[in-house]
Structure 1
């Protein structure tokens, strides 16, 4: 396997169809494995090693779980189905396990399931620039920029400390370039103030801590247009991309029932629930309801359904 073939395989990870919701399970597993490789020089793991941290990553950075009883076993899907050109899965006796085994943590634990990225993949990851490039590829394809820092922290990756040599990354899906001018247009439309809390700080003539947020993420076909944007302060942008904050169809703010805070500053987020989002300046379009619906389905953290 060459570096180009590895990048092509990572860019083409097949995503499960879960009711038309995004399923970043495999990218999160691979990112966690990259962090483990940096720390230990190996990606060899048992399912017991993987279940808790990967399930937590999927719960934190993927769509909300719909079945509470499955929340602790979400790692089973990527562990079983990560592409076999990259991932070697075996039982405790060393027998190969195909991708048709049950996606059940109890079944995998009973059989002592273990896996690792193939040695030739690990050799490539040890080459200068490859691991950082692989991590950036997965982050750019599957997550919004506001989540890149939290995800890297969660998986133990500090890309600034890794060799970030630019390499050619062949992809099966051509990446869209962000349109220049989007951020300025969105901030101007909302009068350089956060649409959630009204924060309008500036350093001299320059906005400070204000950002243009995509409602439907850019890397999930969200257009770089004002009707898919909100001016948000840095805090509320991050909470919006994490799914703590969302939008109701009538453009009122909703706060996830999974959010908890003890301090007055943290509880100020709860106080946003039910407040109307600021409207853009005259002549500028409001957020299109189709993008509000996408965010509600794909990002906002709804409470888990009770186990049957």
Structure 2
């Protein structure tokens, strides 16, 4: 009989595709979507063609790294090797050895997937476990601003999701950037307290980015969210890049396109400048071209 602890451990140790420092949030996004549907009372199994393919494709487009194509079929099939996921009708697919069938076969064979019966029963007995698992997945794979967006979209408990950010990292980064947004110069204070000014990780800490000044930027809340979403980025000369996907009139032009191609505000000491390898990671794995 599985326990909450063993399920948390299994999800912590799901096999993630690795190639260098590339992001692969396929399984985490699939699990978040499935957990959100269980929270709404969905049955145990999900039909791949009608319930998973399009939803997961959309999540990968919006929250995954930019790729030529997105493969929602891959995590749906491969989760079965992680100890808690079950597939129905998979035996009808033309698999050879460890290779998975083409996504079209999952549709034609009406393959369905979901948590196996013991783990699904565990979730039904302990409803709070769904939020606990969602929090665990979000914290392990996404930065804070994206955690909150996903939690809100999928209906998870934001009070449980929110965690205290590292105050030491924030203090160091804001001080290095003279308590101003590196992009727009926003520096509002309420008495002696900075308002809506945050320390952003260039390379996400979930992917090995350290909590140190060369991996940080002082950004206002708007530009922090845009930086984590890939709406803005930096080139090798510390110039601001705006994604061609950014659109909107009036204030959007002033907040984004007016800064396109301009150099960010930099710290006094060059040892505090953003590190080139972190900028390159963000450009490759987060920024949307």
* Structure-1 residue corresponding to 2:117: 119
Within-5 A mapping of 1:1-308: 1-18=2-19, 20-48=21-49, 49-65=51-67, 67=68, 70-71=69-70, 74-84=71-81, 85-91=83-89, 100-102=99-101, 104-126=102-124, 127-154=126-153, 156-160=154-158, 180-259=167-246, 261-268=247-254, 269-282=256-269, 285-302=272-289
CA positional deviation for 1:179: 5.3
Once the two structures are superposed, residues 103-124 of structure 1 have per-residue CA deviations (whole angstroms, 9 ceiling, x without a partner) of: x332221111111111221222
Q: Tell me, yes or no, if the aligned pair for 1:42 and 1:122 is still in contact at 8 Å.
A: no
Scaled by the length of structure 2, the TM-score of the pair is 0.89
Which stretch shifts more, 122-131 or 235-244? 122-131
Once the two structures are superposed, residues 252-307 of structure 1 have per-residue CA deviations (whole angstroms, 9 ceiling, x without a partner) of: 11111222x232122332232211011113476101101111111111123xxxxx
Once the two structures are superposed, residues 115-162 of structure 1 have per-residue CA deviations (whole angstroms, 9 ceiling, x without a partner) of: 1111221222230431111011101110111101111233x223148x
CA positional deviation for 1:24: 0.6
CA distance in 2, matches of 1:16, 1:215: 22
Q: 1:178 to 1:223 in 2, by over 3 A?
A: farther
Q: 1:15 to 1:284 in 2, by over 3 A?
A: same
Q: Tell me, yes or no, if the aligned pair for 1:239 and 1:245 is still in contact at 8 Å.
A: yes
The size of the alignment, in residue pairs, is 280
Aligned residue for 2:272, secondary structure, equals coil
CA positional deviation for 1:199: 0.7
Structure 2 unaligned regions, length at least 5 = none
Q: Tell me, yes or no, if the aligned pair for 1:87 and 1:116 is still in contact at 8 Å.
A: yes
Structure 1 unaligned regions, length at least 5 = 166-176, 303-308
Structure number with the higher helix fraction is 2
More RCO (CA 8 Å, sep 6+) = 1
Alignment RMSD, CA only? 2.3
Q: 1:22 to 1:301 in 2, by over 3 A?
A: same
Moved runs in structure 1, 4+ residues, more than 6 A?
96-99
Q: Tell me, yes or no, if the aligned pair for 1:252 and 1:277 is still in contact at 8 Å.
A: yes
* Structure-2 residue corresponding to 1:168: none
CA distance in 1, matches of 2:204, 2:75: 23
